[in-house]
Amino acid sequence: MGTSSNFDTGGKNILDLVKKNHHIKSLIVTAPNKSKTQYEIQPPALDYLENPNRIIADNYYLMNIDMVLKILRSGAKPERHELVAEVHFPPVIFPSKEQMNKFIVLEKVNDPHDLGMLTRSTKALGWNGIYLTNKSGDVYNSFAQIVSKSQSLTWPYIYGSSEELRKFLCDNELKLLIAEPPKQDLQAISQVFCKSDNRIFTRTEELEQHDDIIKTPLIFWNGNKSDSSELKLLSRIALLLSRELKSGKRNNEASISTENEMRVGINAPFIDVPSAGSIIMWELNRITASSKNV
């Protein structure tokens, strides 16, 4: 069982993979060593044995829990009556530069639930993929996989350092936009996005005249206080989400240096990262939608 495989446990999880046409290489049913009656085998192992046609695999194995633990080794915690499937890592189709204009960058997002949810909503909202910096978690974690409804297995993602991220952004002409909680004095400002030239204004009355502006409750500001240049939202965005969306300095070794990048925030104090991420992706989709009629 080579390195190009991934192990999944639990009947529901495996059935979800079957439904999504993943090829099951091996299926392992966990059962006591010499079970005398079928009552010693319990679900989900029993569910499968009663209805074996639901999961078709290249190879089938029946073994006890100690053997399964030896094979899995890792953080997986199979039960005594478990179903374990070995699947090929599915081929992930990475978008080309032309197909890529809305990317997510995660920094220190290591809760598997948060990762799974962000994978799911990134896909649901039509963003192109996820860049995970060093300190972000494992998308192949079984919990991330369950929460993402197995989307994490096929969703385009990259792991890399802060330096590699710079190169990736540069190569793909993506511009960082940092999600942060807005400072108090910024919360009262409501903003408008001008579609013809991507400029963002603080709302003033004369803007009513324009017919290509869109009001938004998103708050944009310059990361660098001394930079008073006008705000302009580039059409190719890499939205950076950090665990807990902390504001302030992030110039320690592991962090991405982002002092001069533009910031975006929502006026929803203490919201969690996946919800904030979903809202910001949704609202950026809305204001940058190509056709004014949509």
Q: Where are the beta strands (DSSP E) in the chain?
A: 5-9, 24-30, 57-63, 83-88, 102-107, 129-133, 157-160, 175-179, 191-194, 199-202, 213-216, 219-222, 231-232, 237-242, 262-265
Residue 147 is a binding residue for a copy of itself (CB under 8 A): yes
Residue 125 is a binding residue for a copy of itself (CB under 8 A): yes
Candidates 39-47, 85-93, 116-124, 249-257; binding stretch for a copy of itself (CB under 8 A): 116-124
Among 20, 203, 210, 246, binds a copy of itself (CB under 8 A): 203
Residue 10 is a binding residue for a copy of itself (CB under 8 A): no
Query: CB of residue 25 vs a copy of itself: minimum separation in angstroms?
Result: 26
- Crossing angle of the two packed helices 273-288 and 112-124, in degrees rounded to 10: 20
Residue 207 is a binding residue for a copy of itself (CB under 8 A): no
Closest CB to a copy of itself among 1 and 124? 124
Q: What is the DSSP letter of 92?
A: P
Residues 211-250 within binding reach of a copy of itself (CB under 8 A): 217
Q: What count of Cα atoms within 13 Å lies in the side-chain half-sphere of residue 63?
A: 16
Residues 262-281 within binding reach of a copy of itself (CB under 8 A): 266, 268-272, 274-276, 278-279
Closest CB to a copy of itself among 50 and 208? 208
Task: Report the SS3 class of residue 58.
Answer: strand
CA–CA dist 83, 289 (Å, integer):
45
Residue 63 is a binding residue for a copy of itself (CB under 8 A): no
Does residue 58 contact residue 52 with C-beta atoms inside 8 Å? no
CA–CA dist 33, 45 (Å, integer):
14
CA–CA dist 194, 191 (Å, integer):
10
Closest CB to a copy of itself among 21 and 229? 21
Residues 177-196 within binding reach of a copy of itself (CB under 8 A): 190
Does residue 108 contact residue 242 with C-beta atoms inside 8 Å? yes
Query: CB of residue 116 vs a copy of itself: minimum separation in angstroms?
Result: 8
Q: What is the DSSP letter of 224?
A: S
Burial of 225 by CB count in 10 Å (0-12 exposed, 13-18 middle, 19+ buried)? exposed
Candidates 56-64, 102-110, 133-141, 144-152; binding stretch for a copy of itself (CB under 8 A): 144-152
Closest CB to a copy of itself among 79 and 283? 283
Among 80, 149, 166, 175, binds a copy of itself (CB under 8 A): 149
Candidates 32-40, 123-131, 134-142, 225-233; binding stretch for a copy of itself (CB under 8 A): 123-131
Beta bridge partners of 177: 239, 262
Residues in contact with a copy of itself by CB under 8 A are 113, 117, 120-121, 123-126, 147, 149, 151, 190, 203, 217, 266, 268-272, 274-276, 278-279, 282-283, 285-286, 289, 293-294
